[in-house]
């Protein structure tokens, strides 16, 4: 994946914090996907304007000292694209 690419949520999904679940969720017409903390943090940065590089930099600033953030973001975004949660230009 090109780190200059700009991911955005697929139009069928909406990300929101769900207090009852105590986590971020992806809502879609047929249901909901409950996200773990890492997935929620990454998707919270996906806004259709920030590049993958921008997302990685933001998460590195939020979670200093975590060494594998770039690899984790890249792997997750590939998975999210395969699940059709995100589109990546």
Question: What radius of gyration do the chain's Cα atoms show?
Answer: 13
Distance CA 31, CA 72 (A): 26
Q: What is the reported pTM? A: 0.94
| Per-residue pLDDT in tens (0 to 9) along the chain, 89 residues | 899 999 999 999 999 999 999 999 999 999 999 999 999 999 999 999 999 999 999 999 999 999 899 999 999 999 999 999 999 98
Residue 31 located in a structural domain: yes
- Residue-number span of the structural domain to which 49 is assigned: 10-83
Asked whether residue 4 is domain-assigned, the answer is: no
In a domain, 3, yes or no: no
- 51 in a structural domain: yes
3-state secondary structure of 11: coil
Taking the C-alpha atoms of residue 62 and residue 20, their distance in angstroms, rounded to an integer, is: 25
Whether 2 maps to a domain, the answer reads: no
- The domain tally of the chain equals 1
What's the CATH number where 73 sits?
A: 1.10.10.1150
What local confidence, expressed as pLDDT, does residue 1 receive?
Answer: 83
């Amino acid at each position: 994946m090109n780190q200059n690419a700009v991911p955005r949520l697929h139009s069928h999904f909406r990300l929101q914090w769900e207090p009852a679940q105590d986590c971020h969720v992806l809502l879609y017409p047929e249901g909901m996907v409950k996200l773990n903390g890492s997935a929620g943090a990454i998707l919270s940065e996906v806004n259709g304007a920030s590049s993958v590089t921008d997302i990685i930099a933001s998460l590195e600033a939020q979670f200093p000292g975590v060494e594998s953030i770039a690899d984790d973001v890249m792997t997750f975004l590939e998975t999210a694209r395969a699940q059709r949660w995100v589109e990546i230009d």
